[in-house]
A and B are shown apart, each in its own frame.
Chain A
Amino acid sequence: EVQLLESGGDLVQPGASLTLSCEASGFAFSTYDMHWVRQAPGKGLEWVSAIGVDVSRRYYTGSVEGRFTISRDNSKNTLYLQMNTLRADDTAVYFCAGRYCSGGYCYPLDYWGQGTLVTVSS
Chain B
Amino acid sequence: EIVLTQSPGTLSLSPGERATLSCRASQSVSSNYLAWYQQKPGQAPRLLIYGASSRATGIPDRFSGSGSGADFTLTITRLEPEDFAVYYCQQYVNGPWTFGQGTKVEIK
Contacts and interface: CB of A to CB of B under 8 A. Distances in A.
Say which size band chain B's interface belongs to.
Answer: 20 to 34
Interface in A82-116: 95, 97, 99, 106-110, 112-115
A114 B45 contact: no
A46 B43 CA distance: 15
6 A-B pairs with the lowest CB-CB distances in the bound complex, closest first: A59-B95, A108-B35, A112-B44, A45-B99, A44-B102, A47-B97
Interface of B: 1, 33, 35, 37, 39, 43-47, 50, 56, 86, 88, 90, 92, 95-102
A108 B50 CA distance: 7
What does DSSP make chain A's interface, helix, strand, loop or mixed?
Answer: strand
Given A45-B102, A99-B92, A50 B97 contact: yes
Interface residues of A, number: 23
A35 interface: yes
Nearest to A46: B99
Contact of A107 (B39, B50, B102): B50
B53 to A, nearest CB: 13
A44 B95 contact: no
A61 interface: yes
B4 to A, nearest CB: 10
Given A44-B88, A45-B88, A99-B92, A110 B99 contact: no
